[in-house]
Amino acid sequence: MDFKFTDAQIMLQKVAKEFAETEIAPIAAEVDKLGYFPKESFEKMTKIGFTGIGTPVEHGGSGGSDIDKAIVVTEIAKKCAATAAILSIHTIFAAVVEKFGNKEQKEKYLPRVTQGGSLGAFALTEPNAGSDAASAKTTAILDEESGEYVLNGTKCFISGGGQAEYLAIFALTDATKGLKGMSCILVEKGTPGFSIGKIEEKMGIHGSETAELIFDNCRVPKENLIGMEGKGFHIAMSALDGARIGVAAQALGIAEGALEETIKYVHERVQFGKTIAQLQGIQWYIADMATKTECAKWMMYRAAYLKKEGLPHTKEAAMAKLNASENARFVTNLALQIHGGYGYMRDYPLERMYRDAKITEIYEGTSEIHKVVISRAVIG
């Protein structure tokens, strides 16, 4: 058993930490306030190689494993959860193409999203198919004559949906077969018949855009099918296993960031003639926050390790995400409480962290869905 990062991972963490402190932290409050998609940050993450992390070098990526990806996402989430979400969700598109795409698709699309500055997105959810993803109704019917899939339907709550150049869309190529008729189709921004609908106004992660996607007789070449027809649900579930480790990393970063802010604050804040770090009530809060965060960290890295090794990780990813997201809420709540009135004000980042933490219990599968996944695996 080895709980150590490699030397290369220690170096990567240092680089990611410095990047987050110098490039991400200074604009995090503004990005939140304006609800602004930080294009410059995405460009910088492309330049430094973070957008290609987890994609093999021979396919245009920066290489590295799921552990490396988690290290980077965690460091960025400490300073700006929205930017970490953008990066984490972006990498799902590349992961889908890398794992299920054919040679031509990998050659064509992976360099564009890993080093070309284009954003990728993943679209499964529909207005009436959230937790029950298998009831999605969007169709992609093959027109044999033209050799094109014709997409019709609406996707909602799609992270980066309005900004993405390339999207993995899950649609029924055979509407009579339910989830066994679902396929994964790659759609490019600007394809006629594909438009962006409502951009959501949210409680948190304001910089990470959440969009509705509308397909109205949108035609894409049949070469855009990723994997085999009818395997879309399997592809989506498999991709979500990885995405859930990404959310656990985001949640871990939020918790670690809130804890760091709190430790600074308790040494500075003087009440009753001493720093509040000397009050036992505060010490016990911090002990709980640190212990639970440590637990979240190792569960997340264990799931990432299993994925990296090609071992089953569905249950572990669900456990890591469930635990880390509940912890992010717990820690940000106590961190805000310890900061008192200051924590509630926008001069400090705590209220943003508290709002940002909540989504980690909801997206890429709610906590309740993770309990379904975990209990099925444990009980059988």
Nearest approach, Cβ of residue 363 and ligand COS (Å): 6
Of the candidate residues 51, 210, 314, 332, the single one contacting ligand COS (CB under 6 A): 314
Catalytic residue among 18, 309, 364, 368: 364
- Is the Cβ–Cβ distance between 114 and 62 less than 8 Å? yes
Q: Among all residues, whose Cβ is closest to ligand COS?
A: 365
Q: Give 191-227 as a 3 state SS string.
A: CCCEEEEEECCCCCCCCCCEEEEEEEEEEEEHHHEEC
Measured from the CB of residue 266, what is the shortest distance to ligand COS in angstroms?
Answer: 37
The count of residues interacting with ligand COS (CB under 6 A) is 19
**Residue span binding ligand COS (CB under 6 A) among the ranges 45-53, 128-136, 190-198, 278-286:** 128-136
Are 212 and 223 contacting, i.e. CB atoms less than 8 angstroms apart? no
Q: How far is the CB of 82 from ligand COS (least distance, A)?
A: 17
Are 368 and 131 within 8 A, CB to CB?
yes
Only segment of 112-120, 124-132, 217-225, 336-344 that touches ligand COS (CB under 6 A): 124-132
The yes-or-no answer on residue 364 being catalytic is: yes
Nearer to ligand COS, 164 or 373 (CB): 373
Sign of CA dihedral 288, 294, 295, 300: positive
Pick 1 or 379: Cβ nearer ligand COS: 379
**Residues in the chain, total:** 380
Judged by CB under 6 A, does residue 369 bind ligand COS?
Answer: yes
| Sign of the four-CA dihedral 348, 353, 355, 356 | positive
Asked if 184 touches ligand COS (CB under 6 A), the answer is no
Report angle CA 269, 355, 243 to the nearest 5 degrees: 120
Q: Per CB under 6 A, does 169 bind ligand COS?
A: no
Taking the C-alpha atoms of residue 302 and residue 317, their distance in angstroms, rounded to an integer, is 9
Of the candidate residues 125, 139, 262, 323, the single one contacting ligand COS (CB under 6 A): 125
C-alpha pair distances (Å), 368 with each of 201, 218, 238, 318, 361: 24, 34, 18, 10, 9
Judged by CB under 6 A, which of 22, 131, 217, 375 binds ligand COS?
A: 131
Compose the 221-260 pattern: x for residues touching ligand COS by CB under 6 A, - for all others.
------------xx--xx-xx-------------------
∠ CA 69-54-312 to the nearest 5 degrees? 85
CB of 202 to ligand COS, least distance (A): 15
Angle between the 66-79 and 81-100 helix axes, to the nearest 10 degrees?
A: 160
Contact 242, 316 (CB under 8 A): no
Rule CB under 6 A: which residues touch ligand COS? 122, 124-125, 131, 133-134, 179, 233-234, 237-238, 240-241, 314, 364-365, 369, 372-373
Among all residues, which ones are annotated catalytic? 364
